[in-house]
């Protein structure tokens, strides 16, 4: 997917210049304008949404709401959201759950993208009922609200693929470090993990399930508990990269070799995971942000949301933490 920043790089101009051209502003010279439009056509860049504005009397500001500063993958998501909104002449305000409720009103924002597990479905439904379009990225909105859309990762099939590959590599005893149990991500990832083991007629012992909260320290503590049991599994599958890196830190402190003594996998493919050589599942974070913003703009423009959530595919990155 070619993005606004790619068009700007090819044309050797700023992103704001490309945005001005696509939104019909007159502050760009004719030669530059024609060059940008020619590049868009050559690379198949969709300009059909260019110049789209908020409805009369509606704010052209969009909120992105999230709750956890500890996870670096938010930056790519925000980049994707920002590029899409900039292309279409909308502004972006990034806020956390502590301040978001104050901003989620039509007089301030034309719509919101929510990636905040602490914001309840009931509150979001109330916001949507007041005719503020909302796209959620961490759950599937129930009830079929006409002014809401879900953009989520398709966790289940890629987790099945990962666990099946581990089984095929000869792994027999599996450990699992889960995230917060109420989250859609953890439910789907564990379901893929457990179902794949069952399909291979392998029994998963619940004593090897350790609860975490997606933060590195919870993975560290889970691995410490495994070490105390003196009964390590062949592989520890973690519901995200931060917990996997915490587990590896604990193992290394006790001179347990990864992957010679125990293999470890993550989920997300954060920048630090790549540097650490962590086997993980790569989520298209930039693309998910871009698509979430695109779906929100469709709602703001009055287009009915398609039935069901938009699910993003993911892929495995095999690295040195699996033998």
Residues of the chain above pLDDT 70, percent? 87
Q: In whole angstroms, what separates CA 111 from the centre of its chain?
A: 19
Could you read off the pLDDT of 63-75 as tens digits, one per residue?
A: 999 876 556 778 8
Average pLDDT, integer, range 213-228: 95
Average pLDDT, integer, range 130-149: 80
Q: What is the largest CA-CA distance in the chain?
A: 72
Of 308 and 112, the one with more pLDDT: 112
Asked if residues 276 and 243 have their Cβ atoms less than 8 Å apart, the reply is no
Task: Say which DSSP state 207 is in.
Answer: G
Strand order in the sheet with 174-178: 209-211, 174-178, 235-238, 263-265
**pTM exceeds 0.85 for this model:** no
E strand residue ranges, 166-314: 174-178, 209-211, 235-238, 263-265, 280-282, 310-312
Closest CA to 285 of 296, 275, 293: 293
Average pLDDT, integer, range 24-42: 83
Domains of the chain: residue spans and CATH: 4-42 (no CATH), 61-152+286-312 (3.40.50.2300), 155-283 (3.40.50.2300)
Of 286 and 305, the one with more pLDDT: 286
Q: What is the pLDDT of residue 157?
A: 98
Per-residue pLDDT for 47 more than 50?
yes
Q: What is the pLDDT of residue 252?
A: 96
Average pLDDT, integer, range 130-135: 85
Q: What is the pLDDT of residue 143?
A: 57
């Amino acid at each position: 997917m070619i993005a606004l920043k790619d068009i700007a790089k090819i044309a050797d101009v700023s992103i704001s210049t490309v945005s001005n051209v696509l939104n019909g502003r007159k502050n760009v010279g004719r030669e530059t304008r024609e060059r940008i439009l020619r590049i868009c056509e050559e690379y198949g860049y969709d300009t059909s949404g260019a110049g789209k504005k908020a409805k009369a009397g509606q704010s052209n500001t969009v909120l992105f709401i999230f709750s956890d500063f500890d996870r670096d993958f938010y930056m790519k998501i925000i980049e994707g959201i920002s590029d899409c909104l900039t292309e279409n002449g909308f502004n972006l305000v990034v806020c956390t759950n502590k301040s978001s409720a104050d901003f989620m009103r039509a007089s301030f924002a034309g719509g919101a993208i929510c990636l905040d597990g602490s914001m309840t479905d009931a509150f979001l439904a109330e916001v949507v009922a007041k005719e503020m379009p909302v796209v959620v990225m961490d759950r599937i909105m129930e009830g079929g609200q006409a002014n809401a859309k879900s953009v989520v990762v398709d966790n289940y099939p890629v987790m099945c693929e990962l666990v099946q590959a581990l089984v095929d590599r000869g792994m027999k005893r599996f450990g699992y470090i889960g995230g917060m149990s109420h989250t859609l991500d953890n439910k789907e990832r564990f379901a893929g993990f457990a179902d794949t083991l069952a399909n291979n007629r392998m029994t998963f012992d619940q004593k090897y399930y350790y609860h975490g909260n997606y933060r590195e320290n919870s993975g560290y503590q889970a691995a410490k508990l495994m070490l105390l049991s003196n009964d390590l599994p062949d592989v520890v599958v973690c519901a995200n990269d931060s917990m996997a890196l915490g587990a590896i830190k604990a193992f290394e402190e006790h001179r347990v070799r990864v992957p010679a003594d125990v293999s470890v996998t993550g989920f997300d493919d954060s920048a630090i995971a790549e540097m650490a050589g962590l086997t993980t599942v790569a989520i298209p974070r930039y693309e998910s942000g871009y698509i979430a913003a695109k779906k929100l703009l469709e709602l703001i423009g009055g287009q009915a949301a398609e039935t069901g959530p938009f699910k993003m595919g993911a892929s495995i990155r095999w690295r040195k933490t699996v033998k």
